[in-house]
Amino acid sequence: MSEENKKLVRRWFEEVWNQQSEEAIDEMFAPGGKAYGFPEPNSVLVGPENFKSIHRIFLGAFPDLRITVREIVSEGDRVAVAWTATMTHLGEHLGFAPTMKQETLEGSSFLTVSGSQIKEGTNYMDMQALILRLKDSTPFVVAENETSLA
């Protein structure tokens, strides 16, 4: 069962995040499933619809998001994942103008799988630091009458 659970979790990162599929959320996240720690450390998202609302905001801000699974370990119904997200802040969905800044976010997720669905996930990442790095950036703006960057 551990190998099948690892396959499911790899599919989750590939289809939900890299392919940006909401249908994959419906398929792989249990109706009463809980996601802890995303987007804030004390957040709890219950069910696919609540997860999809945050998914849309995050992908709206970072439409080129790519998550790489660095390590995955499974025992029984539990799966642990270390991952790295690379992205560019291109959208206003975080409540401030896009900075066009490329960022990296490292994190880990600890998931419980049952019946080919994710029942629970606890996520660890430093979103606060990511937001602070983005807010410290100045958006790149070219004036209409400017013809040169020199």
Which tokens go with 116? Answer: 């080919």
Contacts of 53 (CB under 8 A, 6+ apart): none
Q: Residue 150: pLDDT band by 50, 70, 90 thresholds?
A: very low
Confidence (pTM): 0.87
Q: Which residues of 103-126 are buried (b: 16+ CB within 10 A; e: fewer)?
A: bebebebbbbbeeebbbbbbbebe
- The residue type of 110 is F
Cα-based distances in Å from 64 to 4, 141, 144: 28, 20, 27
User: How far, rounded to the nearest angstrom, does the alpha carbon of residue 80 sit from its chain's CA centroid?
Assistant: 16
Q: What 8-state DSSP symbol labels residue 22?
A: H
- The pairs formed by 137-144 with CB atoms below 8 angstroms and a separation of 24 or more are 137/89, 137/99, 137/100, 137/101, 138/99, 139/97, 139/98, 139/99, 139/100, 140/99, 140/100
Query: Residue 137 has which token pair?
Result: 């950036």
- In order of their start, the domains of the chain are 2-135 (3.10.450.50)
Mean pLDDT of the chain: 92
The string of pLDDT tens digits covering residues 49-108 is 999 999 999 999 999 999 999 999 999 999 999 999 999 999 999 999 999 999 999 999
Q: What is the pLDDT of residue 145?
A: 53
Which residue, chain included where needed, has tokens 């401030």? 96
